[in-house]
Amino acid sequence: VLGKGRKERIVPLGSKACDAIREYINKKQDAGSKMQDSQALFLNQRGKRLTARSGWNIVDKYARRGAIKRHISPHSLRHTFATHLLEGGADLRVIQELLGHSNLSTTQKYTHINLDQLMKVYDKAHPKA
């Protein structure tokens, strides 16, 4: 992935994501999509690269379909990704690398700890409390 400042980083994909991407590509090819931008993965119906605005609209559409009440943006997904990693036990430095942040303080702004998680860690780390 090419991020801010044209900084390149590797982003791992799980098997479910890879399967979904393969299915998406096959459907595009089967539909005879005019893949005008061979470097882009996600294309609009004219075969051109999706704009940031289009991505935003797609996320918003599916969030509303899923009955999510609060505002969701593609950027919200980065925060959710970081929080799920942290809740799953990932080291903050690993999350920093995956998000492509230069400073750990930026990564900390992306991670949100809920009260249940806080209490579990507290009980485990301080059993005599």
The first and second tokens of residue 113, run together, are 């700890």
Q: List helix spans (H) across the chain.
A: 15-30, 52-65, 74-87, 92-99, 104-110, 115-125
* CA 127/CA 94 separation, integer angstroms: 27
- Model pLDDT, residue 114: 81
- Model pLDDT, residue 73: 85
- Model pLDDT, residue 14: 94
Whether the Cβ atoms of residue 43 and residue 33 lie closer than 8 Å to each other: yes
* CA 9/CA 27 separation, integer angstroms: 28
Q: Which residue has the tokens 């801010």?
A: 4
CA dist 26 → 13, 30, 69, 120 (Å): 18, 6, 33, 44
What is the mean pLDDT of each successive set of 10 residues along the chain, which is 129 residues long?
Answer: 82 94 85 68 84 90 86 87 90 92 90 84 84
- Model pLDDT, residue 34: 66
- Model pLDDT, residue 74: 85
Look up residue 31 and give its amino acid.
A
Q: Which residue has the tokens 């690993």?
A: 94
- Model pLDDT, residue 122: 87
| 101 Cα distance to chain centroid | 14
- Model pLDDT, residue 75: 86
